[in-house]
Amino acid sequence: MNKTAKMVIVLTVITALSGGILATWDGVTKPKIAYHQLQALKAAISDVLPSYDNYEEKDINGNKVYIGKIDGSTQPVGIAFKVDGSGFQGNISIMVGVDPSFTSITGIKVLGQIETPGLGTKIVEDPSNKADPFWFPEQFGGVVLFPQIDVVKNSIPQNPNEVQAISGATITSKAVVRIINDNIQQIKDSYQSAN
């Protein structure tokens, strides 16, 4: 009995101390982590939209959209939103910015992915210090959304709705485009009916 009691007491004390330490530490780190997440979100929005003074966060049918606005103007400069879908090896999530009429893309940024290192991951690796300066997300600026975005291989895009695939990562490139194509109509409809 004495032994059992000791076991229970020691373990309870250890777990209680652990809980106490972690609760304190949680209080210290949580605001910092939340701050970093907010900064990352802001950076992503400003990456995909033309320059704006502030943005408004709106919940439309469960989709969060971020509307970029310039002070003194009622017309937004663009709308940003997050889309998700499966890529070559797992989920890819992308922040997409479009103009207020949903005609063309203003920019995209890949937020999360687990593609093949060195190939598929070129969707997130800025090549500005590399030998080959081809930067896949950059070419989305100005691309026309409808009827749909198309991917071309090994050639310069001719039409306003085309982008060029990353060589060696065609499936990843197509996945990015497909994720945008699959979601755009629904977001457009819900945004326009809400306004």
Partner 1 sequence: MNLLLLFISAAIVNNFVLTYFLGICPFVGVSKRVSSAVSMGLAVMFVMTITAAVTWLIYHLLLVPYQIEILEYVSFILVIASLVQLVEMFIKKVSKPLYDTLGIFLPLITTNCAILGLALFSVLREYSFIESLVFGIGAGAGFTLALVIMAGIREELELSNIPKPFRGAGITMIVAGSLALAFMGFAGLISM
Partner 2 sequence: MAKKSISLSKEFLKGLWDDNPVLRMLLGLCPTLAVTNSAINGLSMGLATTFVLLSSSIIISLLRKVIPHQVRIAGYIVIIATFVTVADKFLAAYLPEISKALGPYVPLIVVNCLILGRQEAFSSKNGVGRSIIDALGMGLGFVFVLVVLGSIREILGSATLFNIQVLGDWFNPWMIMILPPGAFLTLGLLIGLGNWLNERKVKI
**Where on the chain is the footprint of partner 1 (CB under 8 A)?**
15, 18-19, 22-23, 25-26, 86-91, 116, 171, 174-175
Task: Using DSSP, state whether 179 is helix, strand or coil.
Answer: helix
Whether the CB-CB separation of 110 and 176 falls below 8 Å is answered with yes
Q: Residue 66 and residue 57: Cα distance in Å, rounded?
A: 5
195 binds partner 2 (CB under 8 A): no
Residue count, binding to partner 2 (CB under 8 A): 24
Residues 6 or more apart in contact with residue 184 via CB below 8 angstroms: 96, 98, 102, 145
**Considering only 6-14, 89-97, 139-147, 159-167, which stretch makes contact with partner 2 by CB under 8 A?**
6-14
CB atoms closer than 10 angstroms to residue 121: 16
CB of 15 to partner 1, least distance (A): 8
Q: Extract the tokens encoding 152.
A: 């071309």
Which residues contact residue 124 at a Cβ distance below 8 angstroms, ignoring those fewer than 6 apart?
A: 110, 113
If the CB atoms of residues 87 and 97 are measured against partner 1, the closer one turns out to be 87
Smallest distance from partner 1 to CB 120, Å: 9
Shortest approach of partner 2 to residue 82 CB, angstroms? 17
What torsion do the CA atoms of 91, 148, 106, 118 make, to the nearest 10 degrees? 40
Question: Could you say which of partner 1, partner 2, none residue 6 binds, taking C-beta under 5 to 8 angstroms by partner kind?
Answer: partner 2
Between 21 and 194, CB nearer to partner 2: 21
**Residue 86 or 192 with smaller CB distance to partner 1:** 86
